[in-house]
Amino acid sequence: MSLLRRRKQPPPPPSDGNGSDHDDDKGKRPSSSSAPASKEATRRTKGKWSCVDSCCWLVGCVCSAWWLLLFLYNAMPASFPQYVTEAITGPLPDPPGVKLQKEGLRVKHPVVFVPGIVTGGLELWEGHHCAEGLFRKRLWGGTFGDVYKRPLCWVEHMSLDNETGLDKPGIRVRPVTGLVAADYFVPGYFVWAVLIANLARIGYEEKTMYMAAYDWRLSFQNTEVRDQTLSRIKSNIELMVATNGGNRVVVIPHSMGVLYFLHFMKWVEAPPPMGGGGGPNWCEKHIKAVLNIGGPFLGVPKAVAGLFSSEAKDVAVARAIAPDVLDSDFLGLQTLRHLMRMTRTWDSTMSMIPKGGDTIWGGLDWSPEDGCECKAKKQKGNDTEVSDDINGESVEVPPEPINYGRLVSFGKDVAEARSSEIERIEFRDAVKGNNIAHSNTSCRDIWTEYHELGWGGIKAVADYKAYTASSIIDLLHFVAPRMMQRGSVHFSYGIADNLDDPKYKHYKYWSNPLETKLPNAPDMEIFSMYGVGIPTERAYVYKLAPQAECYIPFRIDTSAEGGDENSCLKGGVYLADGDETVPVLSAGYMCAKGWRGKTRFNPAGSKTYVREYNHSPPSNLLEGRGTQSGAHVDIMGNFALIEDIIRIAAGATGEEIGGHQEDEVPISGLRARVQFCGFCFAIVIFHSFVPFANSLTGS
């Protein structure tokens, strides 16, 4: 050991000529040989740059930039963003509230807002252990922060009981109350906020505005059973009328809220215990006008895709871009199956299944939209188009076949074939196969009714090839019998043979405008206000999933495309005119035809008006979501729509604001639907007089 220690000691410094060791300089000067080595080691140490260093610098730069931008945002004058916008786009028009305030309009009729599906906030009042600390925190709406922190716990609390359609044991989720319930869906994404702000410009405030918040997951009648929501709406409307000089209310429902308030108007008239006991003249005494925004009166095809495969156009595109991510077992995500398990417990979604069957939506070889362009607002015509070939000679170009009546087709070839060429095998009496989930534990973890369908049932569904609005109901009963068993208690999708039949007094018919009468309110006005000019989902091309033993067995075939860029078939979805969610046929048909004048659906002759708003997207990012948008939610910020609403709330009638407002292009919007649906409605009118009409309509 002494030898090792001796070897590790540094060599003695060199001596001078006198043999002196210069003890004074020992340890103060490095040797000439060790100095370069020390400098080289230092240089190598300084040159190293680890991943940790890079991450720290990146986080530091991002945080510094974020704080700098936040500081500048808070330091700049409030008018600076508007100044920049006006410098680029020119002077902005006054908001409708400011404009009408200058005209002298003031608050008159109290206003009631009825939000649609998913736009109303929900908060937790009681939950399981995984939801500890979330008492009265929003599970829906707001920041959605808890979705990312505990997604499976969130799904569990947002789901309803599969048998009752009400709360699961130990869970209570309730709607947020007040105007904040649906003014913003998430921070920065308005729903009712712009309309509320403009109404406030002419004097409206909390005492003259009421948000009729409800739990949009429940069936309409169950909102009364569990929360007495319908009774609260009735009481609040009566209070607002009494405290505002007897001025009747103006009701503004949006999306599914249109169907909910249609149900309310029948409920409030009906005697207890099923109804509110208001009597046959309650609506006449308390409601001036109902302004339905984007109302799916006759349902939406998108609801079919959502219930059938938990997807729509956007989800199908995302799935095509990232295959197997949304329904992969990787990391236990299985996103679409969790989504299906949750949404199939929401009974309200079944209220938007298409109503009226083939009579309204079309059959295998026809639909009300036949002859219309899905994009351009002009008639294609039933004849072939004429174009010039490269030699200048005229060539007949046959129009692209569009069979909108086939809401679901298995394969593009089936969607385009003549009905006589389609060989269909009946599925309704097919024997369902063995449980397809028995071999995979992860399949059983997320229960969907597809687990009980089996290969035999899956093959039977695909072999039927094409489904219309009438057979869609049977299809959903076949693939999801428990869901539809609950839904059939609360909703109906047919056309009434005789509206005086006592069976139509049941609440399951109240949200279907084809199976109920409007209230006895001749002085009440009804408006259909909706956007046009946006391609909207109308029918779907499906295929079998490649691994149906565990996945949802059916999916939209995103490879199905039309012949050119102007085709109505995009990514397995046939598009028609509408507001991106609700086709024009559903949004405007009742006010344009079914309720126009005194009809069996409108025996009191309440005046109805159609107000179409042609979609105009924002010209640049500074305009946000645009002030002329016709999109299903963005239309809530449409200046023309807001101006119409404020004028009516301030006392104007439908005639005074211009009556019907339909697009001037001859075959666009609702007029086309009315022309081509004329004979459909004739069938509806004579349905109770022609014995064999049932076989023709399939209802």
Tokens of 210: 């009421």
* CA distance linking residue 298 with residue 356, whole number of Å: 7
Tokens of 450: 């597809």
- Scan for tokens 């428990």, then name that residue: 482
* CA distance linking residue 483 with residue 481, whole number of Å: 6
Task: Collect all residues with Cβ–Cβ distance below 8 Å to 448 and sequence separation of at least 6.
Answer: 337, 340, 341, 344, 552
3-class secondary structure for 324-383?
A: CCCCCCHHHCCHHHHHHHHHCCCHHHHHHCCCCHHHHHCCCCCCCCCCECCCCCCECCCC
In terms of DSSP H, where are the helices of 90-167?
A: 96-102, 145-149, 151-158
Of the residues 167, 215, 219, 255, only one is catalytic, namely 255
Task: Indicate the length of the chain as a whole number.
Answer: 699
Of the residues 146, 215, 579, 663, only one is catalytic, namely 579
Separation of CA 151 from chain center: 20
Of the residues 157, 490, 632, 660, only one is catalytic, namely 632
Segment holding 445, helix H or strand E: helix 441-445
- Scan for tokens 């969130």, then name that residue: 154
310 is annotated as an active-site residue = no
Pick the closest to residue 290 from 257, 318, 313 (CA basis): 257
442 is annotated as an active-site residue = no
Segment holding 121, helix H or strand E: none
Tokens of 516: 């109920």
632 is annotated as an active-site residue = yes
* CA distance linking residue 308 with residue 537, whole number of Å: 15
Task: Collect all residues with Cβ–Cβ distance below 8 Å to 386 and sequence separation of at least 6.
Answer: 394, 395, 396, 397
Q: Is the backbone peptide bond immediately before 273 cis, with ω within 30 degrees of 0?
A: yes
CA distances for 495 relative to 241, 519, 687, angstroms: 35, 18, 8
Separation of CA 566 from chain center: 25
* CA distance linking residue 56 with residue 141, whole number of Å: 34
- Scan for tokens 């030898």, then name that residue: 3
* CA distance linking residue 452 with residue 460, whole number of Å: 14
SS3 63: helix
Task: Collect all residues with Cβ–Cβ distance below 8 Å to 638 and sequence separation of at least 6.
Answer: 531, 613, 626, 627, 628, 629, 630
Name the residue type at position 36.
P
* CA distance linking residue 255 with residue 114, whole number of Å: 9
- Sign for the CA dihedral angle at 379, 385, 389, 393 comes to negative
SS3 449: helix
Task: Collect all residues with Cβ–Cβ distance below 8 Å to 654 and sequence separation of at least 6.
Answer: 289, 525, 527, 607, 609, 648
- Sign for the CA dihedral angle at 231, 236, 242, 247 comes to negative
* CA distance linking residue 680 with residue 693, whole number of Å: 11
Q: How many CB atoms lie within 10 A of CB 560?
A: 22
Contact 537, 304 (CB under 8 A): no
In terms of DSSP H, where are the helices of 253-300?
A: 256-269, 282-286
Segment holding 12, helix H or strand E: none
Contact 449, 480 (CB under 8 A): yes
| Active centre residues (catalytic) | 255, 579, 632
